[in-house]
Amino acid sequence: MQPSTHALVVIDVQNDFCPGGALAVDGGSDIVAGINALMADFATVILTQDWHPAGHTSFASSHSGKEPYDMTQMPYGPQVLWPDHCVQGTDGASFHPGLRTDGDLIIRKGFNPDIDSYSAFYENDRSTPTGLEGYLRTRGITDLTLVGLATDYCVAYSAIDAAGLGFSVSVRQNLCRAIDLNGSLDQALTDMKAAGVAVL
C-alpha cells in the first residue's frame, strides 16, 4: 500500500477514448483491468473526465472547412481540432463501463466552450486552474502516479503541470495508451522526462 501522501490520478478513461468511441485510442480499453487493480494500492484515487459542451471550439465541426486533426490558432495558442467527443451527458463522455469509479474525487475539464483542457490542473490557456492542486494540498498529498488516456496529450500535460507545481510525479506507461499524432508520443515522453517526471 502506498503512503497516504501518494495519490493515483486516472486520466480520461472514457468511452469516446476507447475502441468504438469518437476519438478512440488504440488499445484504450486494455488498461482498465490493470488500473482497477492498481487502485487498491492507493488511499486516494482521483479520476478526470473530459466534459465538453456541444459545439466546443476545439471540435473540427465548429470550424468551417476544417477537418479533424487539422491545426488552428486559438487566443491561447495552437490547437488540434478534434472529432466531436466527450460531449456532456452522452454515453461517449461516460467512464468505460469496466472502470472502477469509486474514487475520492472526479475532476471534469474542458467544459469552458472557448478553451480546451488537456491537463488535470489547468485549461489550455495554461492559467485557469481546475481546482485539483488545491484539493491535493489540503489533503497533504505530495506524490502522484498517473495512468490513463492519452499518454501524449492529457496524461503528459497533467504530469508536466504536476511536476511544475512541485509534486513528485510518475507515469505508469504500461497503464496508458497514446494517440501518437505526428510523433506526439516521442515528444511527450521527452517533455515529461525533461520536466522531472518518472516515466515507468
Question: Phi first, then psi: what are they for 15, rounded to 5°?
Answer: -55, -40
Q: Which residues are part of the catalytic machinery?
A: 12, 109, 154
d(CA 160, CA 138): 21
Q: Alpha carbon of 65 to those of 34, 55, 85, 86, 87: distances in Å?
A: 41, 15, 19, 22, 22
Find, among 61, 70, 33, 48, the residue nearest to 135 by Cα: 48
On whether the CB atoms of residues 121 and 162 are closer than 8 A, the answer is yes
CA distance 6 to 161: 17
